[in-house]
Amino acid sequence: MTGLAFIKPQWKAPANVVAYTSCRTGGLSLPPYSSFNVGQHVGDNTETVELNRQKLPNHENFVWLQQVHSNLCLELPLQNPSSLTADACCTSTVMQVCAVMTADCLPILLCNKQGTRVAAIHVGWRGLADGILENTVQHMDVSAHDVMAWLGPAISQANFEVGAEVYHTFAAYPEAFEASPNSTLAQPKYMADLYSIARTKLTSLGILDITGGDCCTYAQETQFFSHRRASHQGLGTTGRMVTAIYLA
């Protein structure tokens, strides 16, 4: 895997829990997907993406979800593989990978302290509002006090400008918003902190062991893909990282 870069959670998970987020370097994709793009839905060459995916640790046991900003969580391995539409997945099966793709949204990994249950969650603001965290924690079916969470690379508050719809959706979390320099009376805008809202929600669910949340996909251009940054640069599209977890 020469040239590939990964970020691994700095958490006290059991030794049999393997977790990582891929970075954007070391792959085969050409601009604007350069270079380690694992998303098959963004317009990149399908054969190239497949070759990139084959570089991932334990790539043989991935299930690639069709993420739609829902609150749906699937149990893996799938008993009925007719639909992969979901934004989170859980498993107790050894070597079965739970994975989500992101390029500004927040990937969250969960595991229990016994090392018998893991989950991966794709957290955009819509899913966050609709209960993706609540549903996944419930789906874990273990005591929340035995669960630890890692917040993977996402867009930071300094670069996540949103409108009044998002602000009012999360009216219960005023501490997660600051006024944007671009805000006007006619069109109010805010800088939103996905990390903060996610931490507060996880804590309210009883999960107290929370780490991560110190990256910015928008600002760290050499490390991460960012959909919003690509839009601001006039590229229109970009690649995706993957955040994965499994029991070894």
What's the CATH number where 107 sits?
A: 3.60.140.10
Q: Is residue 200 part of a domain?
A: no
pLDDT at res. 3: 73
Q: How far apart are the first and last CA of the chain?
A: 19
Closest residue by Cα to residue 22 from 120, 149, 135, 91: 120
**Residue 39: which domain range?**
6-154+210-247
d(CA 150, CA 108): 6
Closest residue by Cα to residue 138 from 119, 124, 151: 119
Q: Is residue 188 part of a domain?
A: no
For residue 160 the two structure tokens come to: 């996540």
Q: Is residue 124 part of a domain?
A: yes
For residue 245 the two structure tokens come to: 């977890």
Q: Is residue 54 part of a domain?
A: yes
Q: Is residue 56 part of a domain?
A: yes
Our count of domains for the chain comes to: 1
| 146-164: pLDDT as tens digits | 999 999 999 999 999 999 9
Q: Is residue 185 part of a domain?
A: no
Q: Is residue 173 part of a domain?
A: no
The pLDDT of 176-191, averaged and rounded, is 96
Residue 127: which pLDDT band, with cuts at 50, 70 and 90?
A: very high
Side-chain half-sphere of 115: how many Cα atoms within 13 Å? 13
Q: Is residue 12 part of a domain?
A: yes
Phi, psi of 110 (to 5 degrees): -125, 145
| 80-106: pLDDT as tens digits | 777 899 999 999 999 999 999 999 999
Helices (H), 125-214: 125-130, 132-140, 164-169, 194-204
Do 71 and 132 touch, CB atoms closer than 8 A?
Answer: yes
The pLDDT of 139-144, averaged and rounded, is 97
Residue 1: which pLDDT band, with cuts at 50, 70 and 90?
A: very low
**Measured over all CA atoms, what is the biggest interatomic distance in the chain, rounded to whole angstroms?**
54
